[in-house]
Each structure stands twice: as structure tokens, then as C-alpha cells.
Structure 1
Amino acid sequence: MARGLLTVALTAGATLAISGAQAAQAEVNSSRDHLVVYDNNIENLLPASCADGYLYDRFLAYLKKQSVSPDVFTIQQISDIGQLNAFTRRLSDELPGTYAGKIAIAEPGSMGYTSTCGKMKNQQTNAVIYRSDRLTYKGATRWRSDAPANPEKGTGECRNLTPTKTSQDRVHNIAVRLHDKLADKDVTVASIHWPTGKWHGPDCAGENISEANQAVDRLGGTLRIVAGDTNATTGRADWWNRARGYGFRDPIAEKCGGRVCTKADNTFGEHRIDFLLAKGGGGFTGVATVTEAMTGGKYSQHRSVTARVKY
């Protein structure tokens, strides 16, 4: 099967965040034992005035009410480097800590359709956000997710999704290696987005978890996290069992007692397709799927998943 090309740059990079006023309620995580991790497909941070728009302010208000702010935040379907810069700046202004980010593609290609929100919706890619006052950037690797060779018909071996009709840069993944100055350990974090059913992406879920595992292993670190929108439930192409075989643990599954969880843990409609997986660590606390009831209303097309991931 075709493998995604992994390119690694183990050089220092410029941070993307600006310090600002801090929220009064939450505090930074001062524990050496764990990292506070969130994942969410943010759907381009669309305002409520746009088609499919949501009030993401609700999610930020929720974060402000938590006892500690995120150390790591993996996001999918962000528009471009400008939107990432603006978002990390806002996190720095409104939450304790200072935030920076690394993006898979600075200027993604057009999705190939007309959106009422224009560029905001037509450009999509993925990013890793981290608390730069605790975590320092050491390197990154990027790769494209796989779909069948003929993605529209779902035939052929799994290979990088590059259809001619759209750029599909939202399937361009990124993993970053970070040094935790407080714990004096390295952690690698990947933000992934696998192809949708339209491109028969779930058929290649097994290959995609294999490539994600290769990516984080290539960068190394004491703790390795893969999080994002798989567009595949746990039973598709045996990907979840493969992940377990690679050593990954699923905090939501451990919380709910099995691979298939209740509707309360669904992250997109009737399905659980957003995951936070970790290996090399010591387990989890503070595990949750962030529901609309917790935030006071819908904040994204997907629900966020969170856990305190122990070293």
C-alpha cells in the first residue's frame, strides 16, 4: 500500500502567539505529571451568520470556567495561517498561558465549491496548538491521509488522497515534537483528519492509523498523542484494534467501558468519529466528551474530546 511521505524538520520555528490579559477563573496546569489535552474539529471557526456557522465563543467560555487551561489543543479544518494566528492570539488573551501553533499547510487550496463564507470555508487544514510558556517546539512532520486509488468509486489500493476536483488539503496531517520544560520530557502530538465517506476514506482507516503511528514514532518522545477527526467509527477497517496493537489507549473507551460507547460520547451526529489517543503514558484523568449541555449550546459541528494525559 502507498505510504504518506513524511518530511521532518528538527529546527526551531517562530512562535505564533502573543501574550495578553489572562482569564480570572482558570489557571495554568502546574503539574509535572500530565498534560491537559483537547481535540476539536473547529469547522473553520465560522461565525453564526454563515451557513453551518456556530458560536465558538461558547466553547471558549467553557474553557475559561475550567480549573486549568489546555496545554495542548489539536484542531482540524482551520482555514489558514492567518486564522491560526488570530486564534492563538485570542487564546493567549483570554486564557491563562501563552499559546503558539503549527499548521499543516499555511495556505490550503480551495475545496472547490462556493461558500457563503468564502475563503473561510473553502480552505481547510489542520494544526497543533500548544502552551508555549510550558512547551517548546522541536520539530514537525507532515503527511497526507489515504483513500482508495479511485476515491469516488472506492476501488484500488490505499494511497494519498489527491483528487483533481478539490485540493483536499484538509487531509494534510501534522505532528509536532515538543519539549515540556516543567516535566523535562518530550511529547509528540499529531492532529489528523482522514477522508470522508464521499471519498471512501473509512475503507483506508487501517492504513491511516498505521501512517499516523509511523509519524509520531518517527518524531519520538516519552509520550505520543494522535488526535483528530477520523471520519471512521471504531469498527471500520479494524483501525481501532490496530491502534491498540500499536500501544495507543483511548480515554473515552476506558471511561465508557468498551470500544462502542453511549450516545453521550458521540462526536458527530450518531457516531463517535473524533478521537484522542495516547501511547507511552500512564493513563488518563478528567476524561470527557464536551456536550452542548456543558457549553450552553452548539459550538461546532463536532464535539470536543478532552483528557489529562499522564506521563
Structure 2
Amino acid sequence: MSIRRSRFLRGTAAALTTILTTAAISVASSTGAQAAVNTSTSYLVVYNNNIENWLPSSCADGYSWDRLITYLKGRPLSPDIFTVQQVSNQTQLDTLTRRLSDELPGTYAGQIAIASPGSMGYTSTCGKLKNQQTNAVIYRSDRFTFEDATRWRSDAPEDYDAGTGGCQNLEPTRSSQDRVHNIAVRLHDNLRNEDVSVASIHWPTNTWHGPLCADENIKEADEAMDRLGGALKIVAGDANAEPEDAGWWNDGKADGYRDPIAEKCGSRDCSSAYDTNGSRRIDFLLVKSGNGFSNAATITPSMTGGEYSEHRAVTAYVNY
């Protein structure tokens, strides 16, 4: 073999080695940036978001819920539990759990409050996409076994138009109001070998003077937790009430619930950086019987590269 040919072959081999090494490093870096499942028995990775019926961008004024999924794919750990509000129906929940299973580590399943909610009365094309609204708990079925569920309707004043009278279940009005039908589930954590109960809540809006009954609604959520039991209890969702409304947050705290976001910001009344809907903090992740938190966060558009819902998600690693 000539010296020139030998040098050529050595140069080609070196170039190929460099290309392959660079490719391997690139693949390894890409894989390292993606989520993994949580295998710890000490804590759970929990997220909550009102997904606003997962509207297409053409109807969502620039919102794209895909941005939140992309954000989750880049986190160190995928969710163990994901509570969602304003999911349309069982079909949409099935689509969502299938997508999470396809795009994130872990396998996901869900339980819904009402499989086929009644009509909200919307008439526009985009409005019809939000005609059905209810709530669900999504969980990693490769970690948890579903055991039991309980469902109940949130309260509003008896005269919900005037905001007067005692608090009672908000039954169908001029629209179905199935979005205030809550669900709580008891899951067996097969890694920890203990039960955890999780509720996805949606309380009535100001239209129905819902904040006046926020105190009654946190009591009913706590009663649902008591019905299910479990070593750890999580109540999360869209309260449509700020912490000071009707004293509900203080009473929840007195009943043993802790608020990871409040503990992170240093008080019940956090700064605007923690608002979840416009200029209000109305979306919560509350924990009872836990031993503290880490990685608590309000997921802002700057973290996801743009708006993803009218509501900002909240998250925390919840210790047993």
C-alpha cells in the first residue's frame, strides 16, 4: 500500500470516528434532556392545570397547550399525578392519556368526573368546543393501581344570580355546570405500598357568586378525602376563589392542608409572579398529611415559550 493511500485511509477513519463520536454525544445529550419516570418512594411529582378543553390554536387566541407538553418532556421527571380541569369528555381524556403515554416516560390512565357532560350552551364554532366541561385525575398506571373514587358537585349560593342564601350544590342552570362536578380517587402506590387520595376540583365562577361558598367547598373536598382515606391527600384544581375569599384558605390550613406555592412565596398572599389566571391566584395544589415539598413552581409562559392556557399550571414534588 502506498504512503499516500495509507494516509488517506487513516484520515477517513479519523473523520468517521469524529462524526460517530459527535453523533453519539448528540444523542446522549438529547436523551439526557428528556424526562425520566420518578422511581423514588419518598415523593410524588404532581402537576395541576385547567386545560381549557385543549382548544386548537385557531380558537385559543395564541394559546397552545402543546407548549406545556413540550415543557414536561424537558423536565427531569415526568408527572406521577396530573389533575386537570375543563376536560371535554371521556374521549378527550383518553386522547390526552394516550398522548402523555406516547410522549413521556411512563404509562398514563385517568378517571373522569362525568364521561359525557351536558352542554354549556355555547353557539359559536369555537364555543362549541367548550360546550362540555368536567374534571379528571390522570396518574401513572405503571406506578399506581386505581382503587376507588368519589364524586360531588361544588356549592354556590341558593340564589346564585343575586349571591344570596345558603350554599348548596350548583345544579344545572342556564347551562349544565358539569364543570363543577368534582372527582377524587384513591390510588395504591405500588412503589411505596401506601395509598394516596387525589381530588381534581372546579368551583363556581363569580358569575354564580361561587367565591362566597369557597369555605363550604374546601370543607366538602376535605370530606371527600376522608371518605377515601390514604397516607397522603392531594386536593388540586381551579378554585375560582382567591385565598382571602370567604376565609376558605385559612380554614383549609386549619384542617391540615399546606400550600406549596404559598410556602415558596412566603405568605398566603403571593406576589403577581404567582398569579394563575389574569391578576388572580385561583389555581391551587394543596396537600394534607405530607412531609413538605420541593420544586414548587407556577409554570409561567416564559418557562414554556409562550401562552399555553388561560390558566397557569402549578407543580410540586410532594413528600410522603
Normalising by the residue count of structure 1, what TM-score does the alignment of the two structures yield? 0.91
Cα deviations across residues 146-205 of structure 1 (Å, max 9, x unaligned)?
Answer: 000111111110000014311100000000000000011100000000000000000000
Percent identical: 67
Q: For residue 83 of structure 2, what is the amino acid of its counterpart?
A: T
Q: In 2, Cα distance between the equivalents of 1:190 and 1:53?
A: 30
What residue in structure 1 maps to residue 234 of structure 2?
225
SS of the residue 1:182 aligns to: coil
Instruction: Tell me which amino acid in the other structure corresponds to 1:103.
Output: I
Match of 2:68 among 59, 65, 79: 59
C-alpha deviation, 1:262, in angstroms:
1.0
Distance in 2 of aligned mates of 1:168 and 1:286: 34
Q: Is the Cα contact below 8 Å between 1:140 and 1:177 reproduced in 2?
A: yes
Task: Pick the structure with greater CA Rg.
Answer: 2
Distance 1:238 1:96 in 2: 40
2:288 to 272, 276, 279: 279
Distance (whole Å) between structure 2 residues aligned to residue 148 and residue 37 of structure 1: 32
Q: Cα distance, 1:25 vs. partner?
A: 1.2
Partner of 2:169: 160
Q: Which has the higher contact order (CA 8 A, sep 6+)?
A: 1
Alpha-carbon separation, structure 2, partners of 1:208 and 1:82: 28
The size of the alignment, in residue pairs, is 290
Q: 2:97 is matched with which residue?
A: 88
**Native 8 Å contact 2:122 2:128 kept in 1:** no
Choose the corresponding residue for 1:180, options 186, 189, 192. Answer: 189
Q: 1:256 aligns with which of 255, 262, 265?
A: 265
Q: Establish whether residue 41 from structure 1 lines up as the match of residue 62 from structure 2.
A: no
Does structure 1 retain, via aligned residues, the 8 Å contact 2:172–2:178?
A: no
2:158·2:167 contact (CA, 8 Å) conserved in 1? yes
- 2:8 equivalent in structure 1: none
SS class of match (1:232): coil
Once the two structures are TM-superposed, the CA of residue 23 in structure 1 deviates from its matched residue by: 10
Would the aligned equivalents of 1:194 and 1:230 in 2 still touch at CA under 8 Å? Answer: yes
Q: Is the 8 A contact 1:192 1:230 kept in 2?
A: yes
Aligned match of 2:14? none
- Note the C-alpha offset of 1:115: 3.3
Query: Which of 146, 151, 155 matches 1:137?
Result: 146
- 1:294-305 matched pairs, under 5 angstroms: 294-305=303-314
Match of 1:8 in 2: none
Distance, in Å, in 2 between the alignment partners of 1:207 and 1:23 is 46
Higher mean alpha-carbon deviation, 175-184 vs 24-33, is at: 24-33
Query: Whose helix proportion is higher, 1 or 2?
Result: 2
Q: Report runs of 4+ in structure 1 exceeding 6 Å deviation.
A: none
Would the aligned equivalents of 1:64 and 1:95 in 2 still touch at CA under 8 Å?
yes
Alpha-carbon distance, 1:237 to partner: 0.4
Q: Aligned partners of 1:235, 1:52: CA distance in 2, in Å?
A: 30
Deviation at 1:119, TM superposition (A): 4.1
Q: Normalized against structure 2, the TM-score is what?
A: 0.89
Q: 2:137 aligns with which of 107, 128, 134?
A: 128
Q: Indicate whether 1:195 and 2:204 are aligned.
A: yes
**By how many angstroms is 1:24 displaced?**
7.1
Question: Where in structure 2 are there 5+ consecutive unaligned residues?
Answer: 1-30
For residue 130 of structure 2, give the secondary structure of its aligned residue in structure 1.
Answer: helix
Deviation at 1:118, TM superposition (A): 5.3
CA RMSD of aligned residues (A): 1.3
Instruction: Report the alpha carbon displacement of residue 78 of structure 1 after superposing the two structures with TM.
Output: 0.5
